[in-house]
Each structure stands twice: as structure tokens, then as C-alpha cells.
Chain A
Amino acid sequence: MKVYIVLFLFFLVALAVALLVPNVNLITNRFLRIDRSNPEKFEPYECGIPKIKPLTGHYFAFFYIVALIFLLFDLETVFLFPWAVAFRELGVLGIVEVFLFVGILLVGFVYAIFKGALKWE
């Protein structure tokens, strides 16, 4: 219990620091009147030339399938971490079971590779 109170305090301290540090410029700008605004300054960077078109429309997320495979393996890690901690109690039988579990997932991984899911041009 005590651990979590301290963790919560740490959370608050981290939040305070995180909100303060990046916003120091708000304070200095306000009190020292640092304001030399110029419409050019507020344009997004484009090597000094006018922007041709705004950033709208769609972006081709080519790692969509990668994300799916990632989800699969990430869940695998979630299942394997409890096994890793309780490894000594479970003994050899536990290893065999995990071996089968990982083996099944690896078959899927190899299938994904042969399907070209992990190919990038």
C-alpha cells in the first residue's frame, strides 16, 4: 500500500515538472514581452518556399500487417511473463508447454514472412 502512495506522489511530482519545464517560455515571453511576431514565423517549415498544399488527406500506413503481427506477439509476451516468473515451480513440464505455445506462434510468423508481410520496398 505504502509503495503505491509513494508512487502516486512521484506521479504528481513528475506531472508538475513535466507541465512546468516545457512551458517556461510562456512565462518569460509574458513578463519580458518577447514578441516579435511575423506571419512568416507561424508557417510550418517548408525550406523557405510557400506551402503547396496543406497536410490533409490520407497517409498509406504500410505497416498495417506488421501492426497485426505485433499485436499477436505482444500478447504472447503478456502470456509468457507470468511463466517466466513462476518458471522454477512449473519445471520441465512448463518449458514443454511454452515450447509448444511459442512453436505454434512461430509457424504463424513464418507463414507471414512467406506471404510477404515483412517485405518493404
Chain B
Amino acid sequence: MINNLLSMAFIVGLMLVAVPPITYLERKVLGHMQQRPGPMVVGFHGLLQPLADAIKLIFKEDIIPKGADKLLFMFAPSFSIFAALLAASVVPIGFIQAVPMKSALLFVMAMSAISIYALILAGYSSNDKYSFLAGMRAAAQVLGYELPMGFALMAAVILYGSFDFNEIVKWQSQHGWGILYQPIAFLLFLFVMAAEVGRPPFDLPEGESELVGGFHTEYSGMRFAAFFFGEYINIIVLSLVVSLLFLGGWSGPLADKYPVLGVLYHLGKAAFFIFLTFWLRATFPRYRFDQMLSIMWKILLPISILNLFVAAAEALLVG
């Protein structure tokens, strides 16, 4: 019980503390990818930039636009953080497990799926047409990506025969990493992950070139920041999940003897996927709305369903 509570404190703390440095790293990485230095003014190489942002956001004036649905307007950013933190609750980081749940993978999927409500509610309640359109886009986007994601994860579940992350990692430490067996599911999941967290090339609800700021046009101060907390926590959680599912999680050399090494392996693998989301942002332009839906429905969905049978055949062969 004490272990669980300590793990809980660690996970919540990690999720909240990791977000400001990640925003800094994102700006720095994006900057260098575009041959400019990124933030340089505040502190050594802009290291204190997240702190400056936090101070600015905390002391901003709280504005709720005229005609907005006040209750939902205040509720939406809270819901963004809430759903993201709940998704983080069942994800083990090495030996640090807050809630060792049997159906953990299902729970993560459910929680990261309902986080889209934050965007829809924000768009609906702002009394602004740009926000409203962004909310509608978010609703349509969730219809697109949820199915390929479900089927991609199902292929992995068939292979491992469990929703429990501990079982999944144990299976991989015996048989080798999941990416060797299921490269298609891995690629599908990476693709869909970008849509799930609303990152480029699928950041349609944000769409700053056509929708001003998308669903957070009317938000200011920490309410505005709360959406980014939710988004980045979701990125961290899904990166941890993808490294658990396909890259062996915390298994690695000497990880059995020193559990701390396992935590570092797992965080390192997740860090790569977080970097990948920055990389995608620098590389790809945003898809148009109908292109996104066509890709999801006409390409990814059939591939992911056919991939189920590949997974079934593999599972029969491997045992």
C-alpha cells in the first residue's frame, strides 16, 4: 500500500514537473531543426524560459468571454488534466506502479479517448465560431483515429494474451521485443498517437493557420496552459505505453538486478518517442480535414483489421 502511494506521488509529480521542461525542449528542438537557436534570452540558452512562461501565465487576468457557457468553459481545461492524469495512473514506470491493474491497457485507452471531451467542451462553450469549428473537428477526428488505434492495440493483445503491462513486458523479455513481431501495429500506433494527442500532422483542432488558435482561442492564463498540460501528459503517457508494448518496456541488460536501471531504460525509450513528436512537427505539414479522415478510414482501418489476422497467425506459431 505504501509502495503504491509513493508511486502515485512519483507519477503525479513526474507528469506535472516534466511538462515545462518538455515545452522548452520542444521549442529548442524545433528551433534547431529550422536552423534558428530557439529561446535564448531568459537564462543560459533560454533555460529559464519555462519559468518565465509560468510566471506570466499565473499573473494574467482571468477572462471569460461574453456569452460563454461559464460552467463548461471553466470545466473543460480541468477535464483535460484530469483525464490525462487518470490515464497515467495505471502505467507502470519500471518497478514504480501506482495501480497494478489487470486491464491496464484498456483503461489507458479509455482515459486517453475521453480526453477529447475537453476539446469538444472548450469549443462548444466559448461562444466563438473558430472554437466551435475546432470542437467539431475534434469530434470528427476522434471518430477517425479511435478505430485504427483499437485494432492496432488488439493485434498486440492477441500476441501477448493479456492487458496487464507486467505480463506484456514478461512476454517480451522471453520472446524478444514486440516490434519484431508486429512492426505494422507499431507504425499504425505511432501514426494514430499523433492524432490522439492532437499533434502535427494531425493537429486539426488547433489549426492555427485557419482557426486562429482552435479550441483555445478564448482561453488565457493557466486555463490556456491547462490544455497544454493535458496534451503533454498524454504524450508522455502514450510514449510510455508504446515503449511498453513494442520496445520491451523496462527490460534490458542488468535490469533484473538493479530495478532503477529498468526505470531509466523505460524513461529513455519513452523520451525517444517524445522527441519523435517534436520531429514530426518540424517535418510534416498539417493534413487537410478530409485527407485526415480518408487516411484514417480508407487506409489505416483496413490495414489494421487485416493486421489482426497476421497477429493471430504469429501468436499460433510462437505460442
Minimum CB–CB distance for B214 against chain A, Å: 11
Q: How large is the interface on A (under 10, 10 to 19, 20 to 34, 35 or more residues)?
A: 35 or more
Q: How many residues of B contact A (CB 8 A)?
A: 79
Is chain B's interface secondary structure helix, strand, loop, or mixed overall? helix
Q: A44-B128, A55-B132 are in contact. Are A121 and B290 (CB under 8 A)?
A: yes
A-facing residues in B277-294 (Cβ within 8 Å): 289-290, 293-294
The interface residues of chain A lying within 8 Å CB-to-CB of B290 are: 120-121
The interface residues of chain B lying within 8 Å CB-to-CB of A9 are: 5, 8
Identify the A interface with B (CB < 8 A).
2-3, 6-7, 9-11, 13-15, 17-19, 21-26, 28-29, 32, 34-37, 41-45, 54-55, 59, 61, 63, 66-67, 70, 73-74, 77, 80-81, 84-85, 87-88, 92, 95, 98-99, 102, 106, 109, 113, 118, 120-121
A41 x B308 contact (CB < 8 A): no
A88 x B61 contact (CB < 8 A): no
B136 x A59 contact (CB < 8 A): yes
Task: Report the Cα distance A43→B74, complex, angstroms.
Answer: 17
Q: Does B41 contact A (CB under 8 A)?
A: no
Minimum CB–CB distance for B235 against chain A, Å: 17
A102 x B143 contact (CB < 8 A): no
Segment of B189-197, B202-210, B221-229, B240-248 in the binding face: B221-229
Q: A45-B212, A81-B154 are in contact. Are A6 and B4 (CB under 8 A)?
A: yes
Segment of B81-89, B173-181, B253-261 in the binding face: B81-89
* Partner among A29, A44, A121 whose Cβ is within 8 Å of the Cβ of B62: A29
Minimum CB–CB distance for B211 against chain A, Å: 10
Q: A2-B1, A66-B140 are in contact. Are A44 and B222 (CB under 8 A)?
A: no
Q: Does B234 contact A (CB under 8 A)?
A: no
B161 x A18 contact (CB < 8 A): no
B81 x A43 contact (CB < 8 A): no
Q: A6-B8, A28-B59, A81-B106 are in contact. Are A118 and B212 (CB under 8 A)?
A: no
Kindly list the 4 A-B residue pairs having the minimum CB-CB distance in the complex, ordered from nearest: A120-B290, A18-B82, A14-B85, A22-B226
The interface residues of chain B lying within 8 Å CB-to-CB of A22 are: 74, 77-78, 81, 222-223, 225-226
Task: Report the Cα distance A6→B297, complex, angstroms.
Answer: 38
A102 x B305 contact (CB < 8 A): yes
B143 x A45 contact (CB < 8 A): no
The interface residues of chain A lying within 8 Å CB-to-CB of B60 are: 25, 34
* Partner among A14, A87, A113 whose Cβ is within 8 Å of the Cβ of B298: A113
A120 x B289 contact (CB < 8 A): yes
B62 x A92 contact (CB < 8 A): no
Q: Does B100 contact A (CB under 8 A)?
A: yes
A43 x B66 contact (CB < 8 A): yes
Q: Which of A18, A29, A121 has the most CB of B within 10 A?
A: A18
